[in-house]
Chains A and B, each alone.
Chain A
Amino acid sequence: MKPIIKVQNLSKKFRITPGEQPGLQYDTLREAIAKAVKAPLRRWRGNHGEEGKDTLWALKDVSFEVLPGEVLGIIGPNGAGKSTLLSILSRIIEPTSGRAEIYGRVASLLEVGTGFHPDLSGRENVYLNGAVLGMKRREIEARFDEIVAFAEIERFIDTPVKRYSSGMYLRLAFVVAAHLDPEVLIVDEVLAVGDAGFQKKCLGKMDDVTRSGRTVLFVTHSVGMISQMCEHAILMKAGRVHMKGPAIEVVDYYNTMWNTLAEKRQA
């Protein structure tokens, strides 16, 4: 079968020191002018500040494919490049090199409640957040009652969300996102919201989503969630794909990796 997501040699380089990126990362105009004056001099000396200690490859030659309907988990230690990968696939940042193709509509959920405005009411925020996440107004209208009922905030729907408890806020934010209907869903650790009861409800909802045949890319630190929700998983380490395979195997490997690391530290 043809893949729905094709990622080929995706790489992303970040400059660590601001101001070192030619023509880009100056904090003030004065610095920019100073840099513009110095630039020809630097070129003449052959010093481009290109490679070396002031750059970091957050992603390096990452390639993988995802089949339609697959739920792919991405795990890895902090700084492995998981979030950078999701940001690139969500078109928030551009890769330095490489290419990715997605054969369907994408919705990204990199945080809950993106675009929520504290002064607006729950009702207004549902519409705003839905629009930000790419829903059409008619879609939001059609699902509005369901969203409010699921979030269990019927009574407070016309209260400004700044007066919500943090739990209510997160519930509403999650529920709007859970009602998205794209072909590809990109999710970054947003499931850990609300109390235990609501988390269970969310997991159930996510499970429905994954069962409905949608393709899901899912980043999390929770190994339990990966083995529970994903068929396949990718383990990332230092910007590269370290391992890919069935979720159970990758999770096992990841756990042993940590255990050996812990043993080494103890020894």
Chain B
Amino acid sequence: MSKHRRKANMKITGNQSASPAPALRQPVAPTSPDTPEPAAQTTHHLVHHYEVPDKPVVVIESSKAWVPVNLANLWSYRELLYFLVWRDIKVRYKQTMLGALWAILQPLVTMMIFTYFFGKLARIPTEGVPYPIFFYTGLLLWTYFSGAVVMGANSLLGNTNLITKVYFPRLIIPGAAVGAGLIDFAIASVLLIGLLLYYRFPVTWGYLMLLPLIVLTTLLALALAIWLAALNVRFRDVRYALPFLIQAWMFLSPIIYPSTLMPAQWRWVMILNPLTGIIEGFRAALLGKEFHWLALGYSTFVTALLLVYASYSFRRMEKHFAEII
């Protein structure tokens, strides 16, 4: 302690007498020791050796209305993305008894309810697929998708303290929310593997489509999450409208029923929902059925379009977040 006091005192005397004590300074900064210090500098204790680069590292000015996403900048913040995903997961299951088991329990219990009511009682046709596996495949993807969209949409508001106090690309925040959903999805997938084994579904070439389908789901969720998150900062209406819209979307997607349940001439209406192609593609990949390539192509197209629009729209609003949140 006395060491610090001595230093502090010395600093004061140094300032008052305006006489430098350069010998006591320890240059630690990135050095170029051969650059001689101009004598004038020592009058205010400058014995450092940071070589100022020619180009500024940071330029601050009022930006234009439409800015593209800076991918290099995002990439340099990948560790923060990792830590925020890790935080979301940790916090979600802190002080719970069952922990990550909740990620399985939610779709599992819903699947059991659906199997009883929509399967055993209502006898919804599922194209010969056993009810548990038909509902679980749909629910697994839907739980991931809807969770990622809802968490993502509320993510900026939930991180107000970060937004008003530190700089980093704000896209990281909804990105982390979607990433945390992906972890839950991975956990819940374990049960799917169990069901596939139990019902003896063979491994097929269709499995090759699983990864692209999961990526597509993630990108669609991400697009909606970043757009809604930015909108939510301005209009809190999003927070209230979203649960209702998400519920409606679930009934409009082929989770409880196959899209073939619609009369043939109306099936295209179902396919307008980009999730239809993805969910039925997911089932087709796992259960060895035919892919509906047109619907999948349409889903990919819509996802790409939404992603581009959402990221531009996010970037446009991003600069005002700290002021209006």
Is B truly associated with A? yes
- Which residues on B sit within 8 Å (CB–CB) of A26? 234-235
Q: Is A248 an interface residue (CB 8 A)?
A: yes
- A94 CA / B106 CA spacing, docked (Å): 43
How far, in whole Å, are A133 and B162 apart by their CA atoms in the complex? 10
Do the beta carbons of B50 and A68 come within 8 Å of each other? yes
Expressed in whole angstroms, the Cα–Cα distance for A180 and B164 within the complex equals 19
Decide: A69 near B29, CB < 8 A? Known: A114-B161, A124-B90. yes
Q: How far is the CA of A207 from the CA of B6 in the complex (A)?
A: 11
B25–chain A nearest beta-carbon distance, Å: 5
- Chain A residues, Cβ within 8 Å of B168: 132, 134
Closest to A8 in B: B61
Q: Is the C-beta of B208 less than 8 angstroms from some C-beta in chain A?
A: no
Interface presence of A183 (CB below 8 A): yes
Query: How many pairs, one residue from A and one from B, have CB atoms within 8 Å of each other in the complex?
Result: 200
Stretch at the interface among A27-35, A41-49, A145-153: A27-35
The digit string for B218-259, where 1 denotes a CB below 8 A from any CB of A, is 000000000000000011110000000000000000000000
* Closest partner residue, chain B, to A10 (CB atom): B60
Interface presence of A262 (CB below 8 A):
no
A142 CB-CB contact with B under 8 Å: no
The stretch of B11-19, B144-152, B190-198, B297-305 in contact with A is B11-19
Inter-chain contact B167/A108, CB cutoff 8 Å: yes
A14, B324: Cα distance in complex, Å: 11
- A110: interface (CB < 8 Å): yes
Q: How far is the CA of A105 from the CA of B87 in the complex (A)?
A: 26
- Residue in A closest to B167 when the chains form the complex, CB atoms: A91
Query: Interface extent on A, as a size class?
Result: 35 or more
User: B-facing mask of A162-200, CB < 8 A → 1, else 0?
Assistant: 000000000000000000000100000000000001001
User: CB distance A29 to B52 under 8 Å?
Assistant: no
The closest CB in chain A to the CB of B77 belongs to A134
Write the A97-109 contact mask toward B (1 if CB under 8 angstroms, else 0).
Answer: 1111111111010
Within 8 A of A (CB), among B73-127: 79-80, 82-83, 87, 90-91, 94-95
Q: Enumerate chain B residues within 8 angstroms of A96, measured Cβ to Cβ.
A: 62
Q: Tell me the smallest distance from the CB of A253 to a CB of chain B, in Å.
A: 16
The answer, yes or no, to whether B28 is at the interface (CB within 8 Å) is: yes
CA–CA, A2 to B165, complex, Å? 29
Question: By the criterion CB–CB under 8 Å, are B60 and A95 in contact?
Answer: yes
Cα A96 to Cα B319 with chains together (Å)? 11
In the assembled complex, B269 has its CB within 8 A of some CB on chain A: no
B57 & A104 in contact (Cβ 8 Å cutoff): yes
> Could you show 17 A-B contacts with beta carbons less than 8 Å apart?
A69-B29, A69-B47, A90-B166, A92-B164, A93-B322, A93-B323, A94-B319, A97-B62, A101-B58, A114-B161, A120-B90, A131-B80, A134-B168, A183-B30, A197-B1, A227-B12, A228-B12
Please list the residues of chain B having a beta carbon within 8 angstroms of any beta carbon in chain A: 1, 3-5, 7-8, 11-12, 15-16, 18, 24-30, 38, 41, 44-50, 52-53, 55-63, 79-80, 82-83, 87, 90-91, 94-95, 161-168, 234-237, 319-320, 322-324
Shortest beta-carbon contacts, A-B, top 8: A213-B48, A204-B4, A69-B48, A101-B56, A213-B29, A91-B167, A131-B83, A100-B60
Q: Which residues of A contact B (CB under 8 A)?
A: 1-4, 6, 10, 14, 18, 24-29, 32, 67-70, 87-106, 108, 110-111, 114-115, 117, 119-120, 124, 127-128, 131-134, 136-137, 160, 183, 197, 200-201, 203-205, 207-208, 211-215, 227-229, 231-232, 246-248
